[in-house]
Structure 1
C-alpha cells in the first residue's frame, strides 16, 4: 500500500478548522433567527447549570480521551510512548473532525502511526482493529441498550415526523444491518480466511463494470492478509484490555451528555437509559452526515432528540455539548499538528543529514 502524502496533508490542514466552525455557527445563528423560542434570555440559561455536573461532564470526556490513549498503546503493544500516543490520538481526532463522518480518518491514522515508526503493514492492522472494535461495540451493544430503553428510543418530534416520517427508524435499522454485515465480514477476513476474502474480492472486481478498481481490490486483499498475520495468535492478555478500553471509551462518550443534561434537568434512571440509547441512534445519523465532523447535522438533530428532556435549555446544552465533545479537537489539532510535523519530518531529516556527514571509518 502506498500512502498518498499529498492527499493526507490536504486533510491534515489547520486551515480546514474554519469549515466546520462556520457550518456550526451558521446552524446556530439559523436556529437563533428562525426559532422563536430561542432568544437572549435563552442564552442566559447557560448560567443555570449545576457546576458539579458540568465538572463531571468535563471529567468524563477527559477519561474518554485517556481511554483512547491507553487503547492505542495497548493495540501497538506499547511501541508508542504516552507522549507519542497523545499526539496520535489528537491528530486522529482532528482528522475525523475535519472530514465528513462517512469518510472518517482511517487513512490519516495509518499515515500517523507509520510516521511514528510503526511499519506500514502493522499500522494498517492496528487501525483495522480499532475500526472493528468500535463497530462491534455498536453491533453487540445496541440491542442491549435498546432493550433497556423499552422502546423509547425514537423521539416524538413534529419536525422529524413531517420531514422523515418513519424513515429515521428505517435509516437506523439499515445502518445497523450494514455495520453488522461489515463487522462480520471483516472479522472473518482477518481472523479466519484472509486469502479466501482476497480471492472473492478479486473475483468480484473482475466483473466488467468494476474492473477498473481490480488493482485496488487486490491491494486491499494483500493488506488484509498482512494484517491477519499480525493479529492472528494474539492471546487473551492482548485482547482483554483493548476490548474493555473500547467499552469504556464509548460509554464515556455517551455518558458525558447524560452528565450535561443532568446539569440542567434532574433525570431518573429510566431517563438516563433513554438519553444513552438515543445517542446511539443519533450517532448513526451523524455517521452518514456529508459535513465535516457532522457540523450542522449534530446541532439540528440534538434538538429533535433531547428537547423532550431539556425544554428551554435545549439550545444552550447543544452548544455546550459541541464545545466539549467536538471543538476542542479542532483547536488541539491545529496546535499539535505543526509541532508533530517538525518532530516527525524535520528532526528525522536533520538526523539523517548528521549520519550522512559522519561516515563510519
Structure 2
C-alpha cells in the first residue's frame, strides 16, 4: 500500500470519522433506551470521585507510557512533542480504521515521515509489536493462576456449548499470538536469514503467489530490522519492556477503575475484570468496524454487566468516551498540523518511498 498526503486525508476525512462515531453512539443510545431505569441519574451523581480520578490517572499513565516508549525505542530521535504526535496519530488511526487493520499498519510510515530512516522505523515498529504480544502471552497464565481459571463471563441464557466454544476460540487465539511472538523473536534475534529464506520460498509457491509481494517485503524488512536491533544494550530492552508493562497494565485496569466508581469490588473481582479484559480485547481485535465501533458497546455488557447490572450502559459510554471518542477528537486536531509539518517541503508523488516504509503485522494486539 502506497501512502501519500491525499490518501491519508481520504482515510481520515470527516465523513469517515463520523460513521464510527454515529455507529457507536447509536448503539449506546439504543441500549440506554432499552435499559433505562429511573435511579440511574442518582447512581451517576453518587459516583466515587476517587475511582474516577484513578481512571483518569491510569489513562494519563497509559499515554505517557506510550510516548516514553516510542521516544526510547527510537533512541530519542524524536522530541517529546514529536513523540506525542506519533502516539496520538497511532491511536487516531486505531480508532478510525477497522480493528483487523489497526493503526500499526501505518506506524512505520509515521516514523518515516518524522525523518527516521526506513530500516530503523521498521525495526522500531517490530519491537513494539513483539513486546506488546509478549505482554499478552505472559499475562494470560498469570491471570488464570490468580483467578483460578474463571476468566470467561457468565452470560445469561448462553448455551453451555457456545460458552465452551468461546473458551476454545480464546485459547486458539492465545496460541496463535504466542507462536507469532516466538517466531518474531526467533526471526529478529536468533536466525533472521533462515526466516528470510523461508519467506522467500513461500513467496515462490503457486498457492501463495497472490501474497508474494507482501512476503518479499516482509523478508527484506525482517533482515533490516534484525540488523538494527542486534546490538542494542540491555538497558534498551529493560526500559522498553518496563514501559510496555505499564502501558498494557493501564489499558486493562481502566475498566476496573470505572466499574469501581459505581460498584464495590473486591481484589479478586478486580482480577476477574482484568482477566476478562484480555478476552474482550481479542473480540475487538477481530472486529471489521472502525475502532470496533458498535461491537465494543454490544460486547461490553456480556463481559462486565454482572458487576453493574442495569447501569452497565452508562459505564460503556464513559469507557468509550475516554478510550475511543477522545482520541478521535485529539487525532482530528493533531493530524492536519502534523501533515502540514512533515509534508511541507515534499514533492507531490511519494508512492515509492512511502510504500517501502509501510509495514503490516498479521497478528498484532490492537490498540
1:258 — aligned with what? Answer: 256
1:20 aligns with 2:46: no
Cα displacement (A) at 1:26? 2.1
Deviates more, 1:100-109 or 1:66-75: 100-109
Flag the 1:243–1:73 CA change in 2: closer, same or farther, 3 A: same
Paired residues for 1:311-322 under 5 Å: 311-322=309-320
Cα displacement (A) at 1:149? 1.1
Using the size of structure 2 for normalisation, the TM-score is 0.89
Cα displacement (A) at 1:166? 2.2
Paired residues for 1:202-281 under 5 Å: 202-281=200-279
Flag the 1:7–1:182 CA change in 2: closer, same or farther, 3 A: farther
Deviates more, 1:40-49 or 1:96-105: 40-49
- In the alignment, the residues of structure 2 paired with residue 310 and residue 247 of structure 1 have an alpha-carbon distance, to the nearest angstrom, of 28
- In the alignment, the residues of structure 2 paired with residue 90 and residue 304 of structure 1 have an alpha-carbon distance, to the nearest angstrom, of 30
Deviates more, 1:277-286 or 1:44-53: 44-53
- In the alignment, the residues of structure 1 paired with residue 322 and residue 24 of structure 2 have an alpha-carbon distance, to the nearest angstrom, of 14
SS of corresponding position for 1:280:
helix
SS of corresponding position for 1:155:
coil
- Superposition RMSD on alpha carbons, in Å? 1.9
Cα displacement (A) at 1:209? 2.2
- In the alignment, the residues of structure 1 paired with residue 92 and residue 38 of structure 2 have an alpha-carbon distance, to the nearest angstrom, of 32
Cα displacement (A) at 1:48? 2.4
Deviates more, 1:9-18 or 1:330-339: 9-18
Cα displacement (A) at 1:219? 1.8
2:115 — aligned with what? Answer: 117
Deviations 1:47-77 (A, max 9, x none): 2211121111111101110000000000000
Cα displacement (A) at 1:159? 5.0
Cα displacement (A) at 1:313? 1.9
- Structure with max Cα Rg: 1
Equivalent residue for 2:36, pick from 26, 35, 38: 38
User: 8 Å contact 1:160–1:304 — kept in the other structure?
Assistant: no
- In the alignment, the residues of structure 2 paired with residue 343 and residue 94 of structure 1 have an alpha-carbon distance, to the nearest angstrom, of 18
1:4 — aligned with what? Answer: 3
User: 8 Å contact 1:159–1:304 — kept in the other structure?
Assistant: no
1:356 — aligned with what? Answer: none
Cα displacement (A) at 1:117? 0.8
Paired residues for 1:110-189 under 5 Å: 110-158=108-156, 160-161=158-159, 164-189=162-187
SS of corresponding position for 1:326:
helix
1:86 aligns with 2:84: yes
- In the alignment, the residues of structure 1 paired with residue 273 and residue 295 of structure 2 have an alpha-carbon distance, to the nearest angstrom, of 18
- In the alignment, the residues of structure 2 paired with residue 75 and residue 3 of structure 1 have an alpha-carbon distance, to the nearest angstrom, of 25
SS of corresponding position for 1:166:
helix
SS of corresponding position for 1:158:
coil
User: 8 Å contact 1:54–1:263 — kept in the other structure?
Assistant: yes
SS of corresponding position for 2:332:
helix
Off by >6 Å, runs of 4+ in structure 1: none
Deviations 1:269-298 (A, max 9, x none): 111111111111111111111111111111
Cα displacement (A) at 1:201? 1.1
Task: Specify every segment of 5 or more residues in structure 1 that has no aligned partner in the other structure, as ranges.
Answer: 351-361
Task: Specify every segment of 5 or more residues in structure 2 that has no aligned partner in the other structure, as ranges.
Answer: 348-367
- In the alignment, the residues of structure 1 paired with residue 326 and residue 113 of structure 2 have an alpha-carbon distance, to the nearest angstrom, of 24
User: 8 Å contact 1:43–1:316 — kept in the other structure?
Assistant: no
Using the size of structure 1 for normalisation, the TM-score is 0.91
SS of corresponding position for 1:255:
helix
Cα displacement (A) at 1:14? 4.5
Cα displacement (A) at 1:44? 5.0
Equivalent residue for 2:104, pick from 96, 103, 106: 106
- In the alignment, the residues of structure 2 paired with residue 312 and residue 41 of structure 1 have an alpha-carbon distance, to the nearest angstrom, of 10
- In the alignment, the residues of structure 2 paired with residue 72 and residue 140 of structure 1 have an alpha-carbon distance, to the nearest angstrom, of 22
